[in-house]
């Protein structure tokens, strides 16, 4: 492997790692514990942590939870459907 190829691979892996970290830190529907745990895993295990996040982390960006307003709206809709 030439040094140019090596540098390209290292840069690509860093961008992948950094992008994964940004995704974890920017999730709005997570509580603080989820964010801290995944941040520690990604920072401690580096590329392996980012790969673990992709493999066992949430599959859908909105799957971890709903905003408070969305949750209230869904509860109200379910309550109204059950009354009918």
- Can you tell me the mean pLDDT for 52-60? 84
Tens digit of each residue's pLDDT (9 = 90 or more) over 24-54:
988 877 777 888 899 999 999 999 999 999 9
| 57: pLDDT strictly greater than 70 | yes
Instruction: Give the contacts of 53 (CB within 8 A, at least 6 positions apart).
Output: 20, 24, 38, 41, 42
For the residues of 17-32, what is the DSSP string, one character each? HHHHHHHHHH-SSS-H
pTM > 0.85: no
Segments making up each domain of the chain, as ranges: 3-83
Most distant CA atoms of the chain, gap in Å:
70
Residue 34: predicted pLDDT: 84
Residue 81: predicted pLDDT: 59
Question: CA 73 to CA 84: how far, in whole Å?
Answer: 17
Residue % of the chain over a pLDDT of 90: 48
Residue 22: name the closest of 13, 34, 35, 32 by CA. 35
């Amino acid at each position: 492997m030439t040094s140019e190829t090596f540098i390209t691979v290292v840069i690509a892996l860093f961008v992948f790692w950094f992008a994964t970290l940004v995704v974890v830190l920017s999730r709005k529907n997570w509580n603080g514990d989820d964010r801290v745990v995944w941040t520690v895993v990604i920072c401690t295990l580096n590329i392996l942590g980012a790969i673990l996040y992709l493999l066992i982390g949430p599959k859908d960006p909105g799957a971890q939870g709903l905003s408070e307003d969305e949750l209230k709206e869904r509860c109200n809709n379910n309550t109204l459907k059950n009354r009918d």
